[in-house]
A and B are shown apart, each in its own frame.
Chain A
Amino acid sequence: MSIEFIGIAATRAHTETEIEKASGGPPVNADYLRALARAHEDAGFDRVLVAHSSGGPDGSIVADQVLTGTDRLGVLLAHRPGFVAPTLAARTFATLDAFHPGRVALHVITGGDDADQARDGDITDKSTRYRRTDEFLDVLRLEWESTAPFDYDGEFYQVRGGLHAGTPGRPGPGLLRRRLRGRDTGRGRARRRVRVLGRAAGRHRRTDRRTDRRGTRRRRPVRPRPPVQRQPAAHPGRDRDRGVAATDYGNLIRLVRAQALTGILA
């Protein structure tokens, strides 16, 4: 698998060392965003991460501007389940993918900061959020891949007759699924949870046939696992002036790619 370089998008100059410079400017500077995206593309980055916070600009809109302002740069769009219906989120990502084919990947963040979650109205605890993320991803995939209307009955989401008419049966944009951590949440082993399909007509009831404590699988998965992208090899670009830094990283990226090609770093 080839190496992938991921930088980061921002709508204004604002880093640990540049807060003063940013304090007077608008929170969203279209020119800065485009310049930063182009700098990443010119330096040879494959993607930029578009982050999510409950107080700042919306990532899906920022991602669209990055994609529109560049020719081949991809985005890694951070998304926190819980604030958008999963069927609609699936259509948002699929629509972006239709306008910018193959350039959208999704980074699912379950949310680690209770206060930031509450700003957007999520008052749940962490283990509840992880259960919700699991369901969210279930519905996301059904909306992308189901060729017939589907029903879904979960703890958090219920759907009747869900169907995304756009390219049904096609997998959605690439998915980078965050590693589910935390023994106390019980989600470590739940990663291998298997959803059992109900009726052939497309009714999906959440029945947890999970791996037991000794790690023995009770049921065989009936659906393919999501394609999981490799973690990025490096996360540069998070530095002083990001536009300049992204350009400076061009030499580093070329060097690492050359090394990878010759097998020194594969």
Chain B
Amino acid sequence: MTFELLGMVGTRDASETHGDHYGTIDADYLTRFARAHETAGFDRVLIGYGATGADGFAVAAHVLNATTRLKVLIAHRPGFVAPTLVARKLATLDHLTGGGRVAIHHISGGDEADQKRDGDFADHDRRYARTAEFMSLLRRVWEADRPFDHSGEFYRVEGAFSTVKPATPEGIPLYFGGASPAAIEVGARHADVYMLWGEPRRRIAERIAALREAAAAHGRTLRFSLSIRPIIADTEDAAWERAERIRALTAERAGASHPYRMSTSVGSARLQQQAAENERHDERLWYGITALTGPGGNSTALVGTAEQVAEALDGYRRVGVDTILIRGFDPLEDVVDWGRRLVPLLRANAAALV
């Protein structure tokens, strides 16, 4: 399989160091941000989900309209939209934007307060069970050539049928994330691509091995994606100095911009545990921001020169990672910078690895 490079876009200039600018929808910024990814050579961008922010499907449409070949990965949380309707939303978007540029990421929800904002009161394991039923229904809507009935634990439909199917034979890939036993079972059975947050290489290798085994039990194979936060400078010393500046700026803002989270995320707990063991793992995997901001999402960083970070990312590729998702602390500026000095190295290394 070919190497895929993912970025991430949002509707505002926001990060741990830039502040949250809560709720702003800046269409011009989003356009610039999306085009910067395309110019820098990214294949796809993730669009996040939050229960107070912009709707990901509308954001995705804007990104696809503003670019010509960039693909999107729309994060969503099963439980808030009927699966048959999500299937049609994705297929419609797929057709109206040239075909083959749309994928969907399933987040079952680790932050209970945010789930309740949209009206979901299910607990952790029930959420994963619902995600499983949701993903199987998505595929069924896309594959069914005649109306079907379904009666499950969470969803019941009668005569479901969509005239609109994915635009290309490759279909619409289903991405998935989660580190709990419940998550592993669901991902093994239903995911095309399993997303992992940045952990030490050895632990990523262990997780991939376990997931491959779980998937094999269902006769399936998975692709794996790693999400991580590069911090790059001209020299290694300068990169670590930059990391310290990012830490100081984040500390200034952490109180205001990171509200208390009712986290039930096992993936977040793993990162917190690793941060407590050591601030630095492997050669350059840094947990400074992870420790500071507490349970959350993709927060571990690779610190060094472009060559060193590219080498570290290749290390993950050698233990089975197919896809890399990178997101900066200076979101737009980093994308432009990476396009000049990191992406070409990743592409060259990927060609050599294949």
Contact check, B25 vs A159: say whether CB atoms are below 8 A apart: no
Contact check, B117 vs A161: say whether CB atoms are below 8 A apart: yes
Whether B82 sits at the interface, judged by CB under 8 Å, is yes
Contact check, A121 vs B82: say whether CB atoms are below 8 A apart: yes
Known: A62-B96, A119-B147. A88 touches B55 (CB 8 A): yes
Contact check, A119 vs B159: say whether CB atoms are below 8 A apart: yes
- Report Cα–Cα, A158/B120, bound state, in Å: 8
Surface stretch bound by A, among B150-158, B191-199, B231-239: B150-158
Q: Tell me the dominant secondary structure on chain A's binding face.
A: mixed
- Report Cα–Cα, A11/B92, bound state, in Å: 10
Surface stretch bound by B, among A53-61, A186-194, A218-226: A53-61
Instruction: Indicate with 1 or 0, residue by residue over B145-189, a CB within 8 angstroms of chain A CB atoms.
Output: 001000000011111111110010000000000000000000000
Residues of B within 8 A of A56 (CB): 88, 162-164
Residues of A within 8 A of B18 (CB): none
Whether B51 sits at the interface, judged by CB under 8 Å, is yes
User: Using a CB-CB cutoff of 8 Å, which residues 51-101 of chain B contact chain A?
Assistant: 51-55, 57-59, 61-62, 65, 79-85, 88-89, 91-93, 95-98
Q: How many residues of B contact A (CB 8 A)?
A: 52
Per a CB cutoff under 8 Å, which of A27, A60, A161, A167 touches B57?
A60
Closest chain B residue to A28, Cβ basis? B95
Surface stretch bound by B, among A79-87, A229-237, A244-252: A79-87
- Report Cα–Cα, A158/B85, bound state, in Å: 21
Contact check, B81 vs A88: say whether CB atoms are below 8 A apart: yes
- Report Cα–Cα, A168/B22, bound state, in Å: 10
Residues of A within 8 A of B318 (CB): none
Per a CB cutoff under 8 Å, which of A11, A85, A119, A161 touches B81?
A85
Instruction: Indicate with 1 or 0, residue by residue over A154-168, a CB within 8 angstroms of chain B CB atoms.
Output: 000111111111111
Contact check, A61 vs B117: say whether CB atoms are below 8 A apart: no
User: Using a CB-CB cutoff of 8 Å, which residues 90-126 of chain A contact chain B?
Assistant: 91-92, 94-96, 98-99, 115, 118-121, 123
- Report Cα–Cα, A11/B162, bound state, in Å: 14
Contact check, A95 vs B54: say whether CB atoms are below 8 A apart: yes
Known: A57-B92, A99-B27, A121-B82. A160 touches B117 (CB 8 A): yes
- Report Cα–Cα, A96/B60, bound state, in Å: 11
Whether B283 sits at the interface, judged by CB under 8 Å, is no
Contact check, B161 vs A158: say whether CB atoms are below 8 A apart: no
Residues of A within 8 A of B91 (CB): 28, 57
Residues of A within 8 A of B143 (CB): none
User: Using a CB-CB cutoff of 8 Å, which residues 34-71 of chain A contact chain B?
Assistant: 54-58, 60-62, 64-65, 68
Per a CB cutoff under 8 Å, which of B58, B98, B158, B167 touches A60?
B58
Per a CB cutoff under 8 Å, which of A61, A98, A115 touches B89?
A61
Closest chain B residue to A64, Cβ basis? B61
Residues of A within 8 A of B51 (CB): 87-88, 162
Whether A6 sits at the interface, judged by CB under 8 Å, is no
Whether B24 sits at the interface, judged by CB under 8 Å, is yes
Whether A30 sits at the interface, judged by CB under 8 Å, is yes
- Report Cα–Cα, A30/B290, bound state, in Å: 44
Whether B340 sits at the interface, judged by CB under 8 Å, is no
Residues of B within 8 A of A61 (CB): 57, 61, 89, 92-93, 96
Contact check, B116 vs A160: say whether CB atoms are below 8 A apart: yes
Residues of B within 8 A of A58 (CB): 85, 88-89, 92-93
CB distance from A81 to the nearest CB of B (A): 11
Contact check, A27 vs B163: say whether CB atoms are below 8 A apart: yes
Per a CB cutoff under 8 Å, which of A33, A99, A119 touches B25?
A99
Could you jot down 14 A-B contacts, CB within 8 Å?
A26-B95, A57-B88, A58-B85, A92-B55, A94-B54, A95-B25, A98-B25, A120-B84, A121-B84, A157-B119, A158-B121, A161-B116, A163-B52, A166-B54
Residues of B within 8 A of A (CB): 11, 22-25, 27, 51-55, 57-59, 61-62, 65, 79-85, 88-89, 91-93, 95-98, 113, 116-121, 147, 155-164, 167
Task: Give 11 A-B pairs besides A91-B53, A95-B59 with Cβ atoms closer than 8 angstroms.
Answer: A27-B95, A54-B160, A58-B89, A64-B65, A83-B81, A85-B81, A87-B51, A87-B118, A96-B58, A120-B160, A166-B53
Q: Which 9 pairs between the two chains have the least Cβ-Cβ distance?
A: A165-B23, A28-B95, A160-B116, A98-B25, A118-B158, A95-B58, A85-B80, A92-B55, A57-B92
